[in-house]
C-alpha cells in the first residue's frame, strides 16, 4: 500500500490561527508531508495567505481583501496576535521541509501564483512536484494550465467526484480533492483508475481518518495533522 500523504489544513488550523506562519510552523513540527494554504491577490498585487474573501471572520479588520493594500493588510492582526503572511513568506518558511498545496481562492490569482512558482523552481531549488495548485474556480485552473503545462493541478469538489474527474481530464490534472462528505470507496477507485491521486479534505475525526486509510486515498488534509500520525 502506498504511503498516504499527511497534509496540514491551513497549517495546523485545529491548533493555531489558520493560514499564519505560526500555524505552518506547528504543522512542520508534526512532520507533515505538505501544507495546504489559500491565496488572494490584494489591491497592490501581492498574493496574501488568507481563506475568506473578506477580513471580518479571522482578523480585526473589515472589508474585501482585494480592495486593501499590502500595507493595510500587514497592519491587521489575525486572532489579535498574528500577521497575514505573503505566499512567498510561507514558501521561505517551508523550503526543503515539505510540499505545498496552494488553493487559488481569490480572483486573478493564477498568473501571480504561476510567476512565483516559476521563480522558486528556477532560483530556489524547488521542483514542480513540490507544488500542487487547486481551486474551485475553473477559470483560475484553466489560466494556470495555459500559463504552465507542468504545474500539478488538483480539482476541488464538494458536489461530484465524477464531474471532478471529467474536469481533471480536460485540465490534465494530477489529483482530485473531494470533500469528506462525498467520498466513497468506489469514487476513490474510479479516480485512481482514471490516473488521479485522491487527496480528501477536511478529515479530523479519528474514525474518519481510519476510514480514509481503508479507502486507500493518497492524501488526507486535516486541521489536526498530528492525528494523522496516530493509529488505532
pLDDT value at residue 1: 54
Catalytic, out of 9, 15, 40, 177: 9
Known catalytic membership, residue 9: yes
CA 181, 159, 215, 34 dihedral sign is negative
pLDDT value at residue 231: 78
Q: Domain holding 190: CATH number?
A: 3.20.20.190
pLDDT value at residue 35: 98
Cβ neighbours for 232, distance < 8 A, ≥ 6 positions apart: 206, 210
CA 55, 90, 217, 148 dihedral sign is positive
Domain interval for residue 78: 5-229
Could you tell me which of 229, 222, 165 has the C-alpha nearest to residue 197? 165
pLDDT value at residue 2: 74
pLDDT value at residue 232: 61
Could you tell me which of 109, 86, 66, 69 has the C-alpha nearest to residue 24? 86
pLDDT averaged per 10 residues in sequence order, the chain, 232 residues: 90 98 98 98 98 98 98 97 98 98 96 98 97 97 98 97 98 98 98 98 98 98 96 70
Q: ∠ CA 5-160-14 to the nearest 5 degrees?
A: 40
Catalytic, out of 15, 40, 51, 177: 51
| Distance separating alpha carbons of residues 180 and 187, to the nearest angstrom | 12
Question: Which residues are paired to 5 by β-bridges?
Answer: 219
Structurally, how many domains does the chain consist of?
1
pLDDT value at residue 138: 95
pLDDT value at residue 230: 87
Task: Please tell me the number of Cα atoms within 13 Å of 14 on its side-chain side.
Answer: 17
Amino acid at each position: 500500500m502506498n504511503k498516504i500523504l499527511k497534509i496540514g489544513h491551513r497549517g495546523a488550523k485545529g491548533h493555531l490561527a489558520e493560514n499564519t506562519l505560526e500555524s505552518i510552523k506547528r504543522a512542520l513540527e508534526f512532520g507533515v508531508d505538505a501544507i495546504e494554504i489559500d491565496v488572494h491577490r490584494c489591491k497592490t498585487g501581492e498574493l496574501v495567505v488568507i481563506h475568506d474573501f473578506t477580513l471580518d471572520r479571522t482578523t480585526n479588520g473589515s472589508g474585501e481583501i482585494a480592495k486593501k493594500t499590502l500595507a493595510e493588510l500587514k497592519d491587521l492582526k489575525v486572532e489579535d496576535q498574528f500577521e497575514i503572511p505573503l505566499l512567498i513568506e510561507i514558501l521561505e518558511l517551508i523550503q526543503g521541509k515539505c510540499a505545498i498545496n496552494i488553493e487559488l481562492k481569490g480572483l486573478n490569482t493564477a498568473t501571480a501564483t504561476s510567476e512565483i512558482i516559476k521563480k522558486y523552481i528556477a532560483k530556489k531549488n524547488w521542483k514542480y512536484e513540490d507544488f500542487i495548485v487547486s481551486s474551485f474556480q475553473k477559470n483560475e485552473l484553466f489560466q494556470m494550465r495555459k500559463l504552465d503545462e507542468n504545474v500539478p493541478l488538483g480539482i476541488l469538489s464538494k458536489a461530484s467526484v465524477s464531474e471532478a474527474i471529467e474536469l481533471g481530464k480536460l485540465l490534465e490534472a494530477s489529483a482530485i480533492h473531494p470533500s469528506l462528505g462525498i467520498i466513497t470507496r468506489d469514487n476513490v477507485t474510479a479516480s485512481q483508475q482514471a490516473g488521479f491521486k485522491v487527496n480528501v479534505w477536511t478529515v479530523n475525526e479519528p474514525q474518519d481518518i481510519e476510514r480514509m486509510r481503508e479507502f486507500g486515498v493518497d492524501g488526507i488534509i486535516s486541521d489536526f495533522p498530528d492525528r494523522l500520525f496516530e493509529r488505532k
